[in-house]
């Protein structure tokens, strides 16, 4: 039966509509799949590590010299430029610090890179019949990986002969036997002491990181040997504050005694724990002890006013029996009092008159010992304006800063026979002992312990606490508010500190049997960070005991006190005095709890500090 046209058109329309919707749905599903694939691809690419192709194993080889103009070891050289060509592109690492010429030139050569070549240009007139050495150390490195050419030297002569003798040795700090940094070794053919102060050396080098040095291509002859921390890059010992070392006697350099020890590799090596160590230094023929200058000139080094009521003056040398006079014009003697540091080179003036210390600037007059330009000691008068700018006042309420008193009891445990020192930031008033209590604690029970405070006669900011503290017992130290007050109206907050006194069986003991030396000596017991633990003065051989030591590693140092003044004395080039010798016990000593260690120490045998014990080195346990 035929359907009407209208019904037929509706049926066709529905079929077409259904087909269109189906096609659109399939299209949308396909688009979603494409987008999902793209999203996963982007995510994977984003997570992937982007790197350049490896191109094979990493280059570990240093640059190779393929030619030079002139050739190494050239004789009768008269040119003004050296060109060194490499098989690859190179860079210069810290060339201004590392490059040196021996003998030195008045004007430092210019060094630059052009393609794969290093050019060295110089304007100085070269000395006749002289062997020149250009030291590059490890400054020349390849461009990509930074592989250095170690200890590279370029040698030529302006005469018919290449000098071939050498000088070897070691430089150490005179007091702690560490290797000094940035230290030069100078060799002079001139015997006069003034030469090292006024003229350039005949030969020069820089010590290596392990303290050794070696000067090659030296001409036969008689020389003076020095070491110098050159502060002004003059290659001369012309500044009083420069550290210096000198050989007492001239040295004779000739082919008969030109023994050279085998050169060891001194490249830093990484241990299993990642620490960098140096290989043992080569023991050279000559030893130099680098010493700081002796302070001879008297002068005022600084003046300061960090607090409104404290004035500080520092002198280069303690006045000793000489006077230091101080006054404030118009102020009475009761407006301040003076206190000196333990070394007596620092003078502190505490102002007690509030109308005085409330001023932003105070005129002070001081008289002190002074060394003039002729080296004569006089008394100098200075008028010094001491300023203090108080913080700007704010509208906000200012919180009170309590008077802080340090008792040294915060660690929880205290050593037996050790004094308890109370230290304030400013001078104490008499403490209120009624607000200070000490209890012995046994479980929940407290027993009062009598306590008294003794004022330090030399320091107004210190009190010594006197109490009968028993080993192995626990205590509670209580101070109520305002138990301590300063002369400026500050007062302390309340505190409560629990602590215990350790018994001797929680420590170790070290005994040293010191022998084989006649004369005064100072023995230092040091921890493994070189901090002084104990100092003992001895006049003859004997047994030395160090009880109540914490467990750990210790070192021992002896100062040969040649002048008997009870302290280490530095050197003096002007008088020809070497620094007092210092020697170390070979190795470290391990102290254990409840152990008593007895060790012999022959101080007649001089020992350089083991290289493993120097700063930055890994000690062998």
Does the pLDDT at position 170 exceed 90? yes
pLDDT of residue 394: 67
> Domain holding 105: CATH number?
2.60.40.1220
Query: Which tens digit of pLDDT belongs to each residue from 253-301?
Result: 988 776 565 554 444 444 444 444 556 677 888 999 999 999 889 999 9
pLDDT of residue 23: 54
Query: What is the total count of domains within the chain?
Result: 5
Q: What is the mean pLDDT of the chain?
A: 86
pLDDT of residue 576: 94
**Nearest in space to 275 (alpha carbons), one of 615, 553, 610:** 615
| Cα 291–Cα 296–Cα 302 angle in degrees, nearest 5 | 100
CA 464, 467, 468, 470 torsion: positive or negative?
negative
Q: Are residues 282 and 326 in the same domain?
A: no
DSSP letter for each residue of 98-152? H-EEESPPSSPPEEEEETTEEEEE--SPPPTT-EEEEEEET-EEETTT--B-TTE
Residue 45 lies in a domain: no
Q: Which residue has the tokens 């409104």?
A: 308
Domain boundary among 318, 352, 387: 387
| Mean pLDDT across 455-463 | 93
Q: Are residues 307 and 378 in the same domain?
A: yes
> Domain holding 354: CATH number?
2.60.40
pLDDT of residue 240: 87
Does the pLDDT at position 3 exceed 80? no
Query: Which tens digit of pLDDT belongs to each residue from 529-553?
Result: 999 999 999 999 999 999 999 999 9
Q: Are residues 270 and 222 in the same domain?
A: yes
Query: Which tens digit of pLDDT belongs to each residue from 48-85?
Result: 444 445 555 677 789 999 999 999 999 999 999 999 99
| Mean pLDDT across 42-50 | 44
Residue 33 lies in a domain: no
Kind plus residue range of the DSSP H or E element containing 255:
none
Query: Which tens digit of pLDDT belongs to each residue from 404-430?
Result: 999 888 667 777 777 889 999 999 999
Residue 241 lies in a domain: yes
Distance of CA 109 to the CA centre of its chain: 32
Residue 57 lies in a domain: no
pLDDT of residue 505: 86
Residue 371 lies in a domain: yes
Q: Are residues 522 and 596 in the same domain?
A: yes
Say which residues have a Cβ less than 8 Å from residue 112's Cβ, sequence separation at least 6: 118, 119
Q: What domain range is 80 assigned to?
A: 65-157
């Amino acid at each position: 039966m035929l359907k009407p046209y209208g019904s037929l058109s509706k049926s066709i329309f529905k079929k077409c509509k259904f087909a269109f919707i189906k096609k659109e749905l399939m299209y949308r599903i396909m688009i979603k799949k494409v987008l999902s694939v793209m999203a996963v691809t982007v995510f994977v690419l984003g997570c992937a590590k982007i790197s350049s192709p490896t191109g094979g194993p990493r280059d570990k080889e240093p640059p190779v010299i393929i030619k030079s103009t002139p050739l190494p070891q050239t004789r009768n050289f008269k040119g003004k430029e050296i060109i060194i060509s490499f098989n690859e592109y190179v860079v210069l690492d810290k060339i201004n610090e590392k490059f040196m010429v021996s003998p030195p030139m008045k004007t430092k050569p210019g060094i630059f890179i052009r393609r794969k070549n290093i050019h060295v240009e110089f304007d100085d007139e070269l000395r006749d019949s002289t062997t020149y050495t250009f030291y590059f150390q490890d400054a020349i490195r390849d461009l990509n990986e930074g592989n250095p050419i170690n200890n590279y030297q370029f040698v030529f002569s302006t005469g018919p002969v290449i000098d071939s003798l050498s000088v070897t040795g070691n430089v150490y700090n005179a007091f702690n036997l560490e290797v000094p940094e940035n230290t030069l070794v100078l060799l002079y053919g001139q015997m006069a002491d003034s030469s090292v102060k006024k003229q350039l050396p005949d030969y020069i080098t820089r010590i290596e990181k392990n303290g050794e040095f070696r000067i090659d291509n030296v001409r036969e002859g008689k020389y003076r040997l020095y070491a110098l921390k050159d502060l002004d890059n003059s290659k001369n010992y012309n500044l009083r504050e420069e550290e210096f070392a000198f050989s007492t006697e001239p040295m004779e350099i000739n082919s008969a005694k030109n023994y050279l020890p085998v050169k060891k590799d001194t490249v830093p090596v990484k241990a299993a724990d990642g620490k960098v160590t140096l290989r043992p230094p080569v023991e050279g023929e000559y030893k130099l002890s680098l010493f700081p200058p002796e302070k001879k000139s008297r002068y005022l080094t600084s003046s300061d006013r960090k607090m409104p009521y404290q004035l500080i003056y520092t002198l280069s040398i303690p006045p000793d029996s000489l006077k230091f006079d101080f006054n404030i014009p118009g102020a009475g003697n009761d407006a301040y009092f003076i206190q000196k540091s333990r070394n007596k080179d620092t003078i502190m003036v505490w102002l007690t008159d509030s109308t005085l210390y409330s001023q932003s600037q105070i005129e002070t007059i001081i008289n002190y010992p002074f060394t003039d330009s002729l080296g004569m000691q006089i008394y100098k008068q200075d008028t010094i304006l001491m300023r203090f700018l108080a913080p700007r006042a704010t509208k906000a309420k200012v919180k009170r800063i309590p008077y802080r008193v340090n008792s040294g009891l915060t660690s929880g445990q205290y050593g037996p026979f050790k004094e308890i020192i109370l230290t304030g930031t400013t001078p104490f008033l008499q403490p209120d002992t009624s607000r200070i209590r000490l209890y012995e604690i046994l479980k929940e029970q407290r027993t009062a312990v009598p306590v008294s405070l003794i004022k330090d006669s030399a320091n107004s900011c210190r009190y010594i606490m006197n109490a009968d503290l028993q080993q192995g017992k626990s205590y509670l130290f209580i101070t109520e508010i305002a138990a301590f007050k300063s002369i400026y109206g500050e007062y302390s907050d309340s505190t409560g500190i629990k602590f215990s006194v350790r018994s001797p069986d929680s420590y170790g003991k070290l005994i040293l049997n010191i022998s084989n030396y006649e004369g005064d000596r100072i023995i230092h017991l040091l921890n493994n960070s070189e901090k002084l633990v104990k100092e003992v003065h001895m006049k003859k051989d004997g047994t030395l005991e160090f009880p109540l030591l914490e467990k750990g590693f210790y070192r021992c140092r002896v100062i040969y006190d040649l002048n008997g003044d009870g302290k280490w004395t530095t050197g003096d080039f002007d008088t020809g005095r070497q620094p007092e010798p210092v020697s170390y016990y070979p190795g470290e000593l391990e102290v254990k709890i409840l152990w008593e260690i007895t060790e012999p120490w022959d101080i007649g045998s001089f020992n350089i500090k083991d290289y493993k014990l120097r700063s930055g080195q890994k000690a062998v346990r």
